Every structure is written in C-alpha cells, then in structure tokens.
C-alpha cells in the first residue's frame, strides 16, 4: 500500500467514524451530513470556530457526573442489601423475588454427577407460629 493510499484510507475511516456519531431522522444520510459539515467548515472557518466554542461551553458539568456516580453507587448498595435477604425463584414459570428464609437450594441438574449448578426453589410462605412452636419443641427436648 502506497503512502497516498494509506492517507486516503485513514481519511475515509475518519469520515465514516464521525458520520456514525450522527443521530439522523428517517430519510437523512449521516455520511452526507458529515461531508456537508466538513465542506461548510472549510468554506466558512469563522463560523465553525464559533460553533466549536459553543459546543465546548455546553459540555456537562463535572459535578453532574459525580452526582450520577454517587446515585449509581447508592442504587447498587440498595440492590445488594435487597439481594442479601431475597432470592429470585420461578413461580408458575415467572421469575419473582421471595424471602431467602422461605426458599431452599436444589441442584439444577441432579442427573449429572459433576454438576455444581443450583437453583432456588420457593417452599411457600412460612407460618411464623408453626416455626415458633417447632423451635420451642426443640428447646424443650434439648433441656429434658
């Protein structure tokens, strides 16, 4: 490849990359818009400098991105806290969240001997009074 061909190829790649950034309406052509913009910048360099300065002024505030990061981290912490006490199970073929104490783990493929994969299965709502009674029975049996 000659140096001229390499330069032309780099130019075309740059042109296509910039054209792919355009958000176009139906019927518009991103490549044509990019070429028109570049021609306009060559013919009227004063106007293109003004639009570049306006674009630099309208860039997002760095503090706004910090707020976004802080909000994202709060959301992640909240999800992690929720996931600590709840698990995703399938009830009637639909994925739903259930409390971890109402579920148990089963092997996903029990017929495969080397399978370590598991799934959560919902046992149903636990009767709190029945749980308390069984705990008292175990306690009394341990003391007897």
* Domain locations along the chain: 3-61, 75-143
Q: What is the mean pLDDT of the chain?
A: 79
Give the Cα separation of 33 and 30 in Å (integer).
5
pLDDT in tens, 27-38: 677 777 777 777
Helix, strand, coil share of the chain (percent; to 5): 60, 15, 25
Yes or no: say if 121 and 105 are a contact pair by the CB < 8 Å rule: yes
- For residue 86, what pLDDT band results from cuts at 50, 70 and 90? very high
Give the Cα separation of 5 and 46 in Å (integer).
31
pLDDT in tens, 46-61: 765 666 555 555 555 5
């Amino acid at each position: 490849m000659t140096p001229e061909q390499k330069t032309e190829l780099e130019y075309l790649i740059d042109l296509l990359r910039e054209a792919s950034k355009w958000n176009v309406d139906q019927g518009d052509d991103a490549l044509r818009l990019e070429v028109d913009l570049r021609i306009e910048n060559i013919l009227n360099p004063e106007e293109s400098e003004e639009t570049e300065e306006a674009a630099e002024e309208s860039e997002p505030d760095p503090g706004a991105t910090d707020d976004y990061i802080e909000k994202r981290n709060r959301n992640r912490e909240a999800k992690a806290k929720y996931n600590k006490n709840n698990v995703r199970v399938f009830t009637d073929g639909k994925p739903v969240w259930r409390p971890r104490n109402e579920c148990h783990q089963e092997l996903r493929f029990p017929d495969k001997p080397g399978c370590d994969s598991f799934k959560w299965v919902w046992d149903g709502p636990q009767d709190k009074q029945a749980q308390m009674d069984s705990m008292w029975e175990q306690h009394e049996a341990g003391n007897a």
